[in-house]
A and B are shown apart, each in its own frame.
Chain A
Amino acid sequence: MSRPIHREESASIGRNAINYIREAAQHGLYDIRGMGAKRAVPTFDDLVFLTASASRYPLEGYREKCESKTLLGTRYAKNPIELDIPITIAGMSFGALSANVKESLGRAATEMGTSTTTGDGGMTPEERDSSKTLVYQCLPSRYGFNPDDLRKADAIEMVLGQGAKPGGGGMLLGQKVSPRVAEMRTLPEGIDQRSACRHPDWTGPDDLKIKLDELREITDWRIPIYVKMGATRVRSDVKLAVQAGADVVVIDGMQGGTAATQQVFIEHTGIPTLAALRQAVEALEDMNVVGEVQLIISGGIRTGADVAKALALGADAVAIGQGVLVALGCNHHSYVQEGANIDATEDYTTLGTAPGYCHHCHTGRCPVGITTQDANLERRLTPDVGAKRLKNYLQVLDMEVTTLARACGKSNIHHLEREDVVALTIEAAAMAKVPLAGTDWIPGTLPSE
């Protein structure tokens, strides 16, 4: 006689926790992976716009222009950055990405009148040649960092951290340290690169100011300097960056992606982008530098609605990384070769994953040829295909932002304001400090505030 099988899954030690413990016990290694946090956190999806009706006057969507020009770096630089759209491409390295992908990013960004950004590994000729506006990152590793490329840059981004791993250094496993990557980074081929998490030539915010001044001296105060940070103690960090002389502050929330880091970093450090944005804006308001120091927010931005909500909450622009990769074909079941779609499912299976779930950027075995240095895999995404997809994606985002702005009665996307949005959840209302929909209640504030 068979006994009934009792299945009561533990909430505290569920299937994921059991798998994690078993893997740890079996291998003695922690998980390293790419992409961003997979856990559910409050996001821009938890906000909605209060578009026009009787009390607000909308603009005609099809014929009344809505301006989306975006100025960045107006504080000190002789040549601020002027973009056609408020959507920029986040820093991603050659090494993490293939040269074809870097070229795709530059071409699409140029077509859409926006900027792209180098990464931990220096500037490639492909990305400089293809990018009208290129932001040059200065990272703790200083791989490939040199004054010639610095002078070719349109802006500098001093990177103190990123949302996926605030407090951690870069990581590139040996399978992606190809001969070209190794030469650019002055590393032996095939080693597991370990990057410093601290800059070699300055420590602390007082020194940061002197460092930024040095970079300005070298570039004759011509180009703006951004300061990028992972979202942790945002209010204090933004104020310190402003005091150090940042022209633009970039805050990367916990949903921000990476090519490789420890999973414990990705899922358990930093605060959600939604919360980080509001804290950053308050810091700029406290210092009375709104409009003087611009704010770029990143980390999990996917849609035009996300962009519009970020602007409404006070960002001047957004930066997108993972969304850009998905637009190029990341996690797609197939890739295009000579006009034909080739199924890549088997390659996902080899990695132990499937289309839609892959985060194996760190392996260099990207089934669709994006996060790889393997010559055969890299051919799976040509710059022509990549640039077209990305341009389409950016175009859709821009159209969505202007659609929402017009519906709110704005002739300029930068006129979107906090008053235009409400929250659908108490958590989002508390983090974004906007009212819960249908109420005047902002959790955590007193009625008089």
Chain B
Amino acid sequence: MARALQLDLAKLSVREVNQFLHDELSASGADRIEILNPDGNHSIAAGLDADVVIDILGHAGYFTAGMNKRASVTIHGNAGWSVAENIMSGVVRVKGFASESAGASGHGGLVIIEGDASSRCGISMKGCDIVVGGSVGHFSAFMAQAGTLVVCGDAGPNLGDSIYEATIYVRGKIHSLGADAQEEELKGTDVEHISHLLAAAEIDGDAREFKRIASARKLYHWNAEAHQEY
């Protein structure tokens, strides 16, 4: 029978908590874990590969839920650098704000930042979806290769710089677009896609209010005449 467990980082080390989540979770029969007193520790719940719900009750440090597979992780506070970096599947939700590089190089799954995300949100993303309830900082979705970044607030300078095949949707103001990023017409399929992601993120919003940003594909082949101006 499924049950919930509490792991207290005031009494256990991050190593002990992660070792349990990697090796002993299945045998424990728990399908819900509460992690108490995270206190900004790094790498909490990194490397999960299990169908489990994890609630981190407080602020978490760098690389929380890094390389996540299948698990549904919620941080009931703010997250440090690179939350859910290289996420493969599952859901990682930050109830507060996220620091730099949220969802960096994520391959799949869904990352939700209910507050603001800092700079380079979605950098090098490779197929994951990221929904930010607030705003994102500079160079977000830099070199983003695939997947979708939805920003309900504003976007900082150089949004989508050197972007490949990822798509960005922004509801608020865009300070500036980066190299090779361009605004494109918002089509019906975009509205459906945004609506789907907002619903999955449980964030309210009218999908028709968003702008679509994607690659102009002018960087796909070397161009010596560009003189570093794209």
Report which A residues bind B (CB closer than 8 A). 27-29, 141-142, 145-147, 150, 174, 185-188, 191-192, 194, 196, 200-202, 207, 210-211, 213-214, 217-221
Contacts and interface: CB of A to CB of B under 8 A. Distances in A.
B221 A192 contact: yes
Contacts of A145: 86, 105
A200 B105 contact: yes
Interface in B192-230: 219-222, 224-225
Contacts of A221: 15
Interface in B63-93: 63, 66-67, 69, 81-82, 85-86, 88
B101 interface: yes
Contact of B67 (A29, A187, A218, A220): A218
A147 B69 contact: yes
B220 A201 contact: no
Given A142-B86, A145-B86, A188-B220, A201 B105 contact: yes
Interface in B9-68: 14-15, 18-19, 22-23, 42-43, 46-47, 49, 61-63, 66-67
Contacts of B101: 200-202
13 contacts: A187-B145, A191-B220, A192-B220, A196-B142, A200-B101, A200-B143, A202-B81, A210-B42, A210-B61, A213-B42, A214-B62, A217-B47, A221-B15
Contacts of A28: 224-225
A388 B104 CA distance: 41
Q: Which of A188, A202, A218 has the largest number of chain B CB atoms within 10 A?
A: A218
A201 B111 CA distance: 15
Q: Which of A142, A187, A211, A221 has the largest number of chain B CB atoms within 10 A?
A: A142
Contact of A217 (B15, B82, B126, B162): B15
Mostly, the A contact residues are: loop
Contacts of B14: 217
B120 interface: yes
Nearest to B123: A200
B164 A201 contact: no
Contact of A214 (B46, B105, B220): B46
B165 A219 contact: no
Mostly, the B contact residues are: loop
Contacts of B81: 201-202, 207, 210
Nearest to B165: A188
Given A201-B63, A201-B85, 13 more contacts: A146-B86, A146-B107, A147-B67, A186-B126, A192-B222, A194-B162, A196-B143, A200-B82, A200-B104, A201-B82, A202-B81, A210-B61, A213-B42
Contact of B127 (A27, A186, A196): A186
A145 to B, nearest CB: 6
A174 B223 CA distance: 13
B105 A210 contact: no
Given A28-B225, A142-B124, A196-B143, A220 B164 contact: no
A196 B49 CA distance: 28
Contact of B104 (A27, A201, A207, A213): A201
A302 B15 CA distance: 42
B125 to A, nearest CB: 9
A120 to B, nearest CB: 13
Nearest to B107: A146
Contact of A220 (B22, B42, B82): B22
Q: Which of A28, A141, A185, A210 has the largest number of chain B CB atoms within 10 A?
A: A210
A214 B164 contact: no
Contacts of B126: 142, 186
B143 to A, nearest CB: 6
A196 to B, nearest CB: 6
Given A146-B107, A147-B67, A214 B42 contact: yes
A141 B124 contact: yes
Nearest to A211: B63
A209 to B, nearest CB: 10
A118 B124 CA distance: 20
B83 to A, nearest CB: 10
A193 to B, nearest CB: 9
Contact of B82 (A146, A174, A202): A202
Contacts of B151: none
